[in-house]
Amino acid sequence: MRKQGRAQSEVLAELDNLRTRDVPWNRVLNSICTVPHEAALRAGQAALDSNLGDLRIFRGCREVEQKALALMGGLLGKADCAGSLVSGGTEANLLAMYVARKRRPDIAHPEIVAGETVHYSFGKVCDMLGITLRVVGLDERFRMRPDAALEAINGNTIALVGTAGSSEFGAVDPIEELAAIAHRRDLYFHVDAATGGFIIPFARALGRDLPQFDFSLAGVSSIAMDPHKYGMSIIPAGAVFFRDQALRDSINLESFFNATPTHHSLIGTRSGAAAAATYAVLETLGFDGYLDVTRKNYRVMDYLIEQLVQHGYRLVAPPQLNIVNVDLPNAVEVMRALEECGWIISVSKRFRHCLRLVVTHHVDEAMVDEFVERLRSIATPPAL
Ligand SMILES: *Cc1c(COP(=O)(O)O)cnc(C)c1O
């Protein structure tokens, strides 16, 4: 650290300058996060000094958190589910697996069963909690196969994990069938809806053919959903919901100070800004606002697909949520060439022939046109 500080204006100017190196949103097609809603940005800014780790001071913020949780919980089919605002999908999944492990102290070598496209956060979570992750095969649309899940479940299984919107394909596992399996076996069932949580309720209302994924299914024990992705809040805003208070309370931890509430999330000092931002965007948009956002995202995605197909490209599967994968044998090279032209797209290390494009709030038809033109200049579609 320098001995004497610099002028604040000079430091801020340096930071502004560094930010100009970030890729502008209108060249971003790989990110599930997007430009936050204006209400979220403003509310977040106004609450930057708050700390949800100290609820004796931040009484108002505590209420904000409760209100945000109630609004999200209301989307999940059980008004009295018990939620926590957390830092994101990783923490949400960690807390869910922590609860699942606490629930079965009798199992010495715990395992969980999930589909091959389960999010990589489960690698971290299982390592931290001493759980073995068993992944099972997918169907032709990259969804976990329930028959494969049944085969993998054994006496050490403490939880089944379904993904409602995989990061790679936006594929929604057959949550209804998986929930039924879990329910029959009294198995904990966690739904990772970090991506789909803010899409599926609205897409279903718009008539899209997607399975139910929430507590209206008897077998669902917990759900992760991320306001900082399709919810259009600011980072870090995640959420985890448990079917009932008792499940959530199984990981309560006492602080050693008097008169302070117990914790039931991992992080101690927590951002009240994220809670305020999340509440602000939920209240500002309302159900109809999110319907509009979702309708627009599907419209732009359908346009993207139409343009791609018209120019001879093929998709690896019809997308369920707003993630499109183009079948290209040299997808990694194309990704690099696109990046040299300023465009950021992604290719999974596991599915190297899939050029992955994410449609979210900042993507529109004009951007799609520019992208498809650029893609055509780089990659001719493979012959049929
Ligand atoms: C993004 C994502 C996660 C991880 O969430 P973070 O907010 O990045 O910690 C987990 N699961 C799925 C399906 C995701 O899309």
pLDDT tens, position by position, 137-189: 999 999 999 999 999 999 999 999 999 999 999 999 999 999 999 999 999 99
Query: Which H helix or E strand runs over 205?
Result: helix 200-205
Q: Is the peptide bond before 236 cis (omega within 30 degrees of 0)?
A: yes
CA of 194 to the centre of ligand 1 (A): 5
Within the chain, strands assigned E span 82-86, 111-115, 132-136, 157-163, 188-193, 222-225, 238-242, 323-327, 346-347, 354-358
What is the three-class DSSP state of 22? coil
The percent of residues in the chain predicted with pLDDT above 90, rounded, is 94
What is the three-class DSSP state of 285? helix
Tell me which residue has its CA closest to atom 3 in ligand 1.
Answer: 89
Q: Please provide the distance, in angstroms rounded to a whole number, between the alpha carbons at the two ends of the chain.
A: 60
> What is the value of pTM for the model shown?
0.97
Confidence of residue 261 (pLDDT cuts 50, 70, 90): confident
Residue 231, CA atoms < 13 Å, CB-side half-sphere: 34
Spell out the CATH class of 23-34+290-378.
alpha beta
The size of the chain, in residues, is: 384
Confidence of residue 371 (pLDDT cuts 50, 70, 90): very high
Q: What is the pLDDT of residues 303-328, one digit of tens each?
A: 999 999 999 999 999 999 999 999 99
In CATH, which of 3.40.640.10, 2.40.50.140, 3.40.50.620, 1.10.760.10 is domain 38-284?
3.40.640.10
Nearest-5° Cα angle at 222, 220 to 228: 130
Q: Does the beta carbon of 360 lie inside 6 Å of ligand 1?
A: no
Q: Which residue of 226, 229, 267, 356 sits with most ligand 1 atoms within 8 Å of its CB, as the best mutation to test the pocket?
A: 226
Can you state the angle between helices 89-103 and 121-129, rounded to 10 degrees?
40
Distance CA 316, CA 322 (A): 14
Q: What is the pLDDT of residues 192-218, one digit of tens each?
A: 999 999 999 999 999 999 999 999 999
Please give the torsion angle defined by the CA atoms of residues 317, 318, 324 and 328, in that order, rounded to the nearest 10 degrees.
Answer: 30
Tell me which residue has its CA closest to atom 12 in ligand 1.
Answer: 194
Confidence of residue 262 (pLDDT cuts 50, 70, 90): confident
- Rounded to an integer, the average pLDDT of 233-249 is 97
Tell me which residue has its CA closest to atom 4 in ligand 1.
Answer: 89
Distance CA 25, CA 35 (A): 8
For CATH 3.90.1150.10, the residue range(s) in the chain are 23-34+290-378
Q: Does the beta carbon of 170 lie inside 6 Å of ligand 1?
A: no
Confidence of residue 114 (pLDDT cuts 50, 70, 90): very high
What is the three-class DSSP state of 117? coil
- Rounded to an integer, the average pLDDT of 247-251 is 94
Distance CA 131, CA 95 (A): 13
Q: Does the beta carbon of 191 lie inside 6 Å of ligand 1?
A: no
- pLDDT given for residue 257 in this prediction: 84
Q: Does the beta carbon of 197 lie inside 6 Å of ligand 1?
A: no
- pLDDT given for residue 259 in this prediction: 80
- pLDDT given for residue 47 in this prediction: 97
- pLDDT given for residue 24 in this prediction: 97
Q: Does the beta carbon of 111 lie inside 6 Å of ligand 1?
A: no
For CATH 3.40.640.10, the residue range(s) in the chain are 38-284
Say yes or no to pLDDT of 260 above 90. no
Q: Does the beta carbon of 117 lie inside 6 Å of ligand 1?
A: no
In order of 24, 35, 265, the CA distances from 15 in angstroms are 16, 19, 32
Mean confidence (pLDDT) of the chain: 96
- pLDDT given for residue 256 in this prediction: 82
Confidence of residue 383 (pLDDT cuts 50, 70, 90): confident
Please give the torsion angle defined by the CA atoms of residues 341, 326, 143 and 361, in that order, rounded to the nearest 10 degrees.
Answer: 50
The percent of residues in the chain predicted with pLDDT above 70, rounded, is 100
- pLDDT given for residue 79 in this prediction: 87
